[in-house]
Structures are given as structure tokens and as C-alpha cells.
Amino acid sequence: MQNQNKMRPYRESTFYPDGASARPLPAHTVARGDLRADEAYYTGIRGGKPVADVPFPVTRDVLLRGEQRYDIFCSPCHGRVGDGLGMIVTRGYKQPPSFHSEQLRNAQVGWFFSVMTQGFGVMPSYAAQVPEADRWAIAAYIRVLQYSQNARLSDLSPAAQQAIAGDLAASAASAASAASAPGAAGRAPNPGAPPPPAPPKSEVQ
């Protein structure tokens, strides 16, 4: 057992003509569990272009996961609402573009995934910190942020528009009622109230 017929890493071999004990891997060798045959899922790209949709159903749980991961990994630079004014930007770090710019609102969701995977500009790759499923969840949540800051009332159904109009009218009426209530802008003077005391005279004559 002291002398075993095996090769340690980088030990010279007299068996192979090139003298190397470690043999090169055959072409197209793939590690077990790392096939990554779905190009769109693992890269965000299909046919050389970013994909338009998340490659799995976007549920509430996916969006909540995306929000959590975004707040941890993305918000320090991009801000909690995606405006590019994260905390470290206020301390001198280069400001990233706002997700609410027309260019990024029109960007395909696969582009955001690809940037998280490969990095872009001064932004490094986050592939080591964020697995693929979470990168897609973040990309889906970025769409939520964009919609939250750029939504239009006309995008909603007529019933939803009427409900919102009713809520706005009720809020306006409540605010007007509060503004006209006694004491809203300061109490009216009371004619029977005693005058306020005079300020003390200075002892210095």
C-alpha cells in the first residue's frame, strides 16, 4: 500500500508519449449536471438576441423573491425604485442609468438577465452571487418597478378605472372637508378671551 500505481497531479508519466499524466478532456465534454442545453434560460439570449419573456411562469412568489434579491444585490446602486440613486451612488460611486428611461423600458427582459450574468460597464458579473432562477426573478421585478413608475390609468379595465376615480374623489372630498373644518387653518380669535400678557420690561434703563 505504500507504493501505489497511481499518478499525482502534474507528476510525469512514462506511459504517454507527451510525458503528461493528466490527460486533456475530450472535445465537448460536459460536467455532470452542467449541460445547460437551454441557451435562453442560462444566457437570456436566443439566436443572438435577448429574449422577450421570462422562461417560466411569473407568479407572485417569483416577484416577491425578485424584490428580495433586488433589494439585496441591486438597490445599493440602482436604488429601491430603480432610479439609479442608490446609497453608494450618493457616496461617489458612478451612477447607473435609470430603469425608467425610455431605452431601458423598451429593453427586452433577457437583456437585464444577460447584464447580470456578464456584467456591463463598471457593473461586474453577479453570476457567482445570484443563481439563474433568482436572476430571472430580479429581471421580472425590474419590469414591476418600471410599470410602477410609468403606469397609465388607461391601461386598466373600465371597472378598475371607475374604482380608482371613486377613491380619488372620496380622498379629495375628505381633504376639502378637513381644510374647511374649524381650527384647520388656525383657531378664530375669541372676543371674550383676555389679552395675552405683555412681555417683561427690561431692567436695564
Dihedral angle, C-alpha 13, 18, 22, 26, nearest 10 °: -140
The mean predicted confidence, pLDDT, of the chain is 89
**What is this structure's pTM?**
0.69
Confidence of residue 34 (pLDDT cuts 50, 70, 90): confident
**Residue 8, pLDDT above cutoff 90:** no
What pLDDT, in 10s, does the model give residues 111-134? 999 999 999 999 999 999 999 999
- Write the CATH number of the domain with boundaries 54-150: 1.10.760.10
Cα 78 to chain centroid distance, Å, stands at 7
Which residues on neighbouring strands pair with residue 186, listed in sequence order?
183
**Residue 15, pLDDT above cutoff 90:** no
The pLDDT of 162-174, averaged and rounded, is 91
The pLDDT of 30-57, averaged and rounded, is 94
Q: At what angle do helices 60-69 and 132-150 cross, to 10 degrees?
A: 90
Please enumerate in sequence order all residues whose Cβ is within 8 A of that of 10, keeping only pairs 6 or more positions apart, or say none. Answer: 21, 22
**Residue 202, pLDDT above cutoff 60:** no
Domain boundaries, the chain: 54-150
Q: Can you say whether residue 183 is alpha, beta or left, with left for phi > 0 and alpha for psi between -120 and 50 degrees?
A: left
What pLDDT, in 10s, does the model give residues 66-102? 999 999 999 999 999 999 999 999 999 999 999 999 9
Radius of gyration over alpha carbons of the chain, in Å?
Answer: 32
Q: What is the pLDDT of residue 201?
A: 60
The pLDDT of 49-61, averaged and rounded, is 97
Which residues on neighbouring strands pair with residue 49, listed in sequence order?
46
**Residue 205, pLDDT above cutoff 50:** no
Q: What is the pLDDT of residue 196?
A: 62
**In angstroms, how far apart are the furthest CA atoms of the chain?**
115
Q: What is the pLDDT of residue 204?
A: 46
Q: Which is more confident, 151 or 138?
A: 138
Please enumerate in sequence order all residues whose Cβ is within 8 A of that of 148, keeping only pairs 6 or more positions apart, or say none. Answer: 81
